[in-house]
Structure 1
Amino acid sequence: MNMSILVKENIRFNGQAKTKEEAIREVGNVLVEQGYVGATYVEKMLEREALTSTFMGNMLAIPHGTEEAKAAIMTSGLAVMVYANPIDWNGEAVRLVIGIAGAGGEHLELLSQIAIVCAEEENVERILNASSADEVLQTFAEGNE
């Protein structure tokens, strides 16, 4: 994975959300704080979730904005949020939420790279049990070799 897009500062192990909406806002706010997107992008992430669930299996959800949200993206970025306790995501348990902001054509490439890594249950376990952001970066780097 392009390491300039996934950076240590955007990997958080202290997710506090108790609901799907709170989790989307929490991970979306990291994208806003780090300057990847404008504040309107978070609302578009919630709209996108209302249209189609972003649950991917293996305790992973990948919320991202609608097509109309592209204007709110300043530069591509990812935010990773790990939760100690599962969040109910339309009846599925989620502990790993990866917020995606893909500028231009990068959106599908980012989705694809995340899907490749997280399709392997052992990679998701490594991320959930990681004690540092470096371990998460290493898992993504190895998974996309």
Structure 2
Amino acid sequence: MSVLTLGQVRIHPGSATQEAALQEATDILVAAGAVTPGYVDAMRQREQTVSTFMGNGLAIPHGTNDAKDTILASALSVVRYDGGVDWAGDEANFVIGIAGVGDEHLEILSRIAILFSEEDDVARLTAAQTPDELYALLSEVNEG
């Protein structure tokens, strides 16, 4: 299951608002053919009920279960904001948008959680200089 391509990985030197980060995550997923533009509304609804900030500088925005009709394929978007994003009071540096068909998002979530559970791995992801390098470190999310 290939959910991530190089074109879905970006690095920004500055910061962004949470709203801008949600929109960018959606735009990447739309460009990948994974969701319709309305998916951003489902992401916003999810954040209103529960923050998707996971710790270790990681936020994993994804839509509510009601949004299944806006999901066309399983995919990820990965954006690193070196200036950080204020995520409802926490600082996120990695915003990983997730679209999953059926229950596939659960498997994808677990792979991302494992990648970000080790501080050494997070340090490597943070140190990657280019989207190519970052993608190479993240590419194991495609295995399985």
- Scaled by the length of structure 2, the TM-score of the pair is 0.90
Partner residue of 2:92? 94
Distance 2:111 2:36 in 1: 24
Output one character per residue of 1:29-83: Cα deviation in whole Å (capped at 9) or x when no partner.
1111221100111110111111100000000000000001111111100000011
Partner residue of 2:12? 14
3-state DSSP of counterpart to 1:104: coil
Q: Which amino acid aligns with 2:126?
A: L
Q: Which amino acid aligns with 2:131?
A: A
Q: Which amino acid aligns with 2:107?
A: E
Output one character per residue of 1:84-131: Cα deviation in whole Å (capped at 9) or x when no partner.
201111221111100000111201000000001111122122222212
Structure 2: unaligned runs, 5 residues or longer: none
Q: Which amino acid aligns with 2:87?
A: W
- The root-mean-square deviation of aligned C-alpha atoms, in Å, is 2.0
Is residue 70 of structure 2 the alignment partner of residue 79 of structure 1?
Answer: no
Q: Which amino acid aligns with 1:118?
A: F
Q: Which moved more, 1:56-65 or 1:130-139?
A: 130-139
Q: Which amino acid aligns with 1:68?
A: D
Distance 1:54 1:84 in 2: 19
Distance 2:41 2:30 in 1: 12
Distance 1:15 1:46 in 2: 24
Query: Structure 2 matches for 1:110-129, cutoff 5 A?
Result: 110-129=108-127
- Scaled by the length of structure 1, the TM-score of the pair is 0.89
Structure 1: unaligned runs, 5 residues or longer: none
Distance 1:14 1:79 in 2: 14
